[in-house]
Amino acid sequence: MEKVIFQDLGRIGYRQAWALQQSLHDAMKERKIANRRAGISDFHQDHYLLFCEHDPVYTLGKSGSEDHLLLKEGEAESKGFEFFKINRGGDITYHGPGQVVAYPILDLDRFFTDVHKYVRTLEEVVIRMLAEYEIEAGRIDGYTGVWLKGARQRKICALGVHLSRWVTMHGFALNVNTQLNHFNHIVPCGIQEESKEVTSMERELGRPISQEEVKNKLKRHFSELFEFQYSEVVAVRD
């Protein structure tokens, strides 16, 4: 069974977290390439699961449109938001306080080499965790992420990933106690349908939710669904 190093980074700027992800991702790829060139198939590979909470930021995926940022040039910064174009899939989204952001950095050669299955498994981690709060969540055909269905379809978790040589980076952002009006400055995920909106666990349950409790539940579902054990676990802070 593979072992995964877990770390809760706490509140961290997006640029710093992105640099850490990229560093770990590159090291895993280089280890894989070096061992394969040496003809070594049975080698140790580190995997990581990072949790964090970002300062307010908008990120635009490589397939997204800058028109989906509804603020004028320089206005995002003046309102306290950073903006980054990044290499994950998907369109524009928001990260900020009150979210739980998960960045799995896994060598899928040690799990399964199926991008579709990987995305669906990340969604399933969130779906199973939400079920513990009696929030019935699922998927919508043609869209990534985790949704709640009803008169209006509400997106509670955005997802975007990047893979190179089957090593993953980026992940998902789950709205727990998120300030939802910050999504008003963008077209979230590029979706412009009036029947769809963004929600949070706090909005759905009518009360603030312990993010530490959510993290611990997500950790458990990650290990169960991907069938790994944690190694060198840094405890989630109280």
Residue 234 has pLDDT above 60, yes or no: no
Average pLDDT over residues 144-163: 92
pLDDT over 70 at 229, yes or no? yes
Q: Give the mean model confidence (pLDDT) for residues 17-30.
A: 96
Is 236 contained in some domain? no
- What's the CA gap between 133 and 75, in Å, rounded? 38
* In-domain check, residue 237: no
Q: For position 160, which CATH number holds?
A: 3.30.930.10
For residue 154, being part of any structural domain is answered with yes
Query: What's the confidence (pLDDT) of residue 73?
Result: 65
More confident call, 64 vs 98: 98
- pLDDT exceeds 80 at position 97: yes
80: left (phi over 0), alpha (psi -120 to 50) or beta: left
Residue 25 lies in a domain: yes
Structural domain boundaries enclosing 71: 3-231
Identify the residue with better confidence: 50 or 235. 50
In a domain, 238, yes or no: no
Q: Is the pLDDT of residue 198 over 50?
A: yes
- The lowest-confidence range among 27-31, 45-49, 174-178, 192-196 is 192-196
Q: Is 157 a catalytic residue?
A: no
User: Which one from 24, 49, 189, 236 is the annotated catalytic residue?
Assistant: 189
Question: How many other CB atoms are found less than 10 A from the CB of residue 25?
Answer: 23
Tell me the pLDDT of the chain averaged across its residues.
91
Reported confidence tier of residue 121, pLDDT bands at 50, 70, 90: very high
- Bigger pLDDT: 10 or 70? 10
Q: What's the number of domains the chain is made of?
A: 1
- Cα distance from N-terminal residue to C-terminal residue, the chain: 29
